Structure 1
Amino acid sequence: MNRIDVALICKALSDANRLEIVQMLSEGEKCGCRLLERFEITQPTLSHHMKILVESGMVNDRKDGKWHYYSLNAETLKMFKEFIEKLGCICASEETGRCCR
């Protein structure tokens, strides 16, 4: 995962509403209308948040008729998790490059 990808994810997660959306999606795919019920925001504002999450690669968007369904992109989240875990490895051996844990 390159720095630009990581920066987009960090930007996407920098908003409390988007963090809550990601938590909701961790329970499974949701229709945009179900997400909107949870917040006191307008539909255009939800669309703005969803655009940022989709563009970051964290969220998949599927259209069925006039409805949009959203789900987490497991592969992107896995790569982001691996990136974050590498940051926490302050005891990496200079010889092997691996953490001593």
Structure 2
Amino acid sequence: MITPTELFKSLADETRVRATLLIADQVELCVCELMCALDESQPKISRHLAQLRSNGLLLDRRQGQWVYYRLNPDFPAWVHDILQVTSRANADWLKDNAARLQNMDGRPVREATCC
């Protein structure tokens, strides 16, 4: 169980909060998509994702050469509610990131999942 203090400490960095909100909006994203959306280097994105994963906020899955990150579905509803409200209330703050992601060349294609 995550506490409010742990959640807000996890999100107390602009790169981490932008990545988390983009992942919440897109369901899952890989490192290369976040690099493009956030216009940051692979080591920086990977370091922040590792911290979010170690805090339990994100889960990852491997598909071929790609590692995709998604929100931990086992977190309490209040965590998901906070992220949804924050994302909706700050769409303008994220619009450049969302546009870069939408226009990304060579975006990885996700395989259809069963069931």
1:11 matched to which residue of 2? 9
Distance in 1, matches of 2:76 and 2:20, equals: 11
- TM alignment of 1:32-71, pairs within 5 A: 32-71=31-70
What displacement does 1:9 show?
2.7
2:75 matched to which residue of 1? 76
Structure 1 unaligned runs (5+)? 83-101
Measured on the aligned residues, the alpha-carbon RMSD in Å equals 2.1
**Paired amino acid for 2:54:** E
What displacement does 1:8 show?
3.8
Structure 2 unaligned runs (5+)? 82-115
Distance in 2, matches of 1:81 and 1:67, equals: 25
The 4+ residue runs of structure 1 with deviation greater than 6 A are: none
Structure whose alpha-carbon radius of gyration is higher: 1
Q: Could you tell me the TM-score, scaled by structure 2's length?
A: 0.59
**Paired amino acid for 2:53:** V
1:58–1:77 contact (8 Å) kept in structure 2: no
Q: Alignment identity in percent?
A: 29
What displacement does 1:33 show?
1.0
Residue-pair matches, total: 79
Q: Could you tell me the TM-score, scaled by structure 1's length?
A: 0.66
* Secondary structure at 1:71 match in 2: strand
Higher relative contact order (CA 8 A, sep 6+): 2
* Secondary structure at 1:10 match in 2: helix
Question: Greater CA deviation, 60-69 or 43-52?
Answer: 60-69
Distance in 1, matches of 2:37 and 2:9, equals: 22
